[in-house]
Amino acid sequence: MFLNVIITLLIAATVLTGIRVVIGPSVWDRLLGLYLVSTKIIILIVIFSFISGQAFYLDIGLAFALLGFVGTTSLAKFLQKDKER
């Protein structure tokens, strides 16, 4: 029961953050929103791993976290260089 409430709240927060990504006033707000969505999805993967008892979902969550970090960092660096021109 408690995990269902947590999952529902995380999904609702992800949807609200997704709306923020779409209507964000600046590119930096959208980038931060994408990073937040990525983080919430990682939390959902970890919770699913806990519920199912399968440890390999943690590996998937870790890979997703690394890809999200590298993607967000490279996109921020690209946007910063574009702003300096």
* Percent helix, strand and coil across the chain, each to the nearest 5: 90, 0, 10
**Alpha-carbon gap, residue 13 to 59, rounded angstroms:** 24
pTM of the model: 0.84
**Alpha-carbon gap, residue 63 to 78, rounded angstroms:** 22
43-70 pLDDT tens trace: 999 999 999 999 999 999 999 999 989 9
pLDDT at 10: 94
Note down the domain range covering 25: 2-84
Long-range residue pairs from 50-55, CB within 8 A, at least 24 positions apart, any chain: 50/3, 51/3
What would the two tokens of residue 39 be?
């983080």
- The answer to whether residue 85 scores a pLDDT higher than 70 is no
* Number of domains comprising the chain: 1
3-state SS, residue 72:
helix
Binned at pLDDT 50, 70 and 90, residue 75 comes out as: confident
